[in-house]
């Protein structure tokens, strides 16, 4: 039976915790394949996302070196809200007999009862959770609300504080000289992603080009 991981996100931008989570999941869950799925319209995020083509390109750059990993464009191409259950149902139809593992961070676990058709998600995939520092709700509370999540797997990823929000804020509030219009992002995002952000002036308070 093929073991397929599914890792969705805004990836605005993709960062080192996303990569670490993916590597941990491949090793710990012995995945044959991991599909990275940038979201199209994020119904659960309050702010508008950066253009889909930027997020897709950065996601490809970030994950390109990883074995067994592919970036899947289906949610970006879909019109309307990006619901994980629609993606899982399509993947099941394309890969009959495979076992699916849905990778999420602890903040998403805390919000899981708000996901569209979350009960159906649990019947189609094993939820695998990476703890996040300062996550919104303790796992024990979540499990009391949704006992079915007791089957979830804890990913052995050491807590990492990096977030896309903090990276965007760092860039937007950076006051450098004209030659250093972007802060040093080493340690936060892979180098090719940092170069892409700089080239396109992403996340700056006054973008240079978009
Ligand atoms: P933002 O700060 O804009 O909300 P983010 O850093 O949470 O973005 P997303 O692209 O929204 O990044 O995250 C995709 C998935 O990766 C989500 O399931 C999220 O919980 C998980 N994730 C992101 N950062 C971490 C982290 N530091 N540790 C564990 N999981 C993470």
In a domain, 75, yes or no: yes
Q: Is the CB of 156 under 6 A from ligand 1?
A: no
pLDDT in tens, 32-75: 999 999 998 766 666 789 999 999 999 999 999 899 999 999 99
Angle between helices 52-63 and 191-200 in degrees, nearest 10:
160
Q: What is the Cβ-side half-sphere exposure of residue 13, based on CA atoms within 13 angstroms?
A: 32
- What's the CATH code of the domain at 155? 3.40.50.620
In a domain, 181, yes or no: no
Range of the domain at 122: 3-159
**Which residues of the chain fall short of a pLDDT of 50?**
208-210
In a domain, 203, yes or no: no
Q: Is the CB of 9 under 6 A from ligand 1?
A: yes
In a domain, 165, yes or no: no
Q: Report the alpha-carbon distance of residue 202 to residue 208 in Å, rounded.
A: 8
In a domain, 111, yes or no: yes
In a domain, 177, yes or no: no
pTM of the full structure? 0.93
Domain total in the chain: 1
Q: Whose CA is nearest to atom 21 of ligand 1?
A: 105
Looking at residue 51, what is its pLDDT? 95
In a domain, 201, yes or no: no
Looking at residue 80, what is its pLDDT? 83
Minimal CA–CA distance to 12: which of 46, 31, 30? 46
In a domain, 94, yes or no: yes
Q: Is the CB of 14 under 6 A from ligand 1?
A: no
Q: Is the CB of 11 under 6 A from ligand 1?
A: yes
């Amino acid at each position: 039976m093929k073991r397929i991981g599914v890792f969705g996100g805004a990836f605005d931008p993709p960062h080192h915790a996303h990569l670490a989570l993916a590597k941990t999941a491949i090793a710990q869950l012995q995945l044959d394949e991991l599909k990275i799925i940038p979201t199209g319209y994020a119904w659960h995020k309050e702010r508008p996302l950066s253009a889909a083509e930027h997020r897709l390109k950065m996601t490809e750059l970030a994950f390109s070196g990883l074995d067994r990993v592919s970036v899947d464009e289906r949610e970006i191409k879909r019109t309307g809200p990006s619901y994980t259950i629609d993606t899982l149902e399509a993947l099941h139809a394309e890969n009959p007999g495979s076992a699916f593992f849905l990778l999420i961070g602890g903040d998403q676990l805390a919000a899981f009862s708000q996901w569209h058709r979350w009960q159906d998600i649990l019947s189609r995939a094993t939820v695998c959770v990476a703890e996040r520092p300062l996550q919104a709700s303790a796992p024990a509370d979540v499990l009391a609300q949704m006992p079915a999540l007791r089957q979830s797997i804890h990913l052995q990823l050491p807590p990492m504080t990096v977030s896309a929000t903090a990276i965007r804020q760092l860039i937007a509030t950076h006051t450098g000289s004209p030659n250093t219009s972007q802060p040093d992002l080493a340690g936060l995002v892979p180098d090719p992603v940092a170069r892409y952000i700089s080239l396109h002036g992403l996340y700056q308070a006054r973008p240079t080009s978009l």
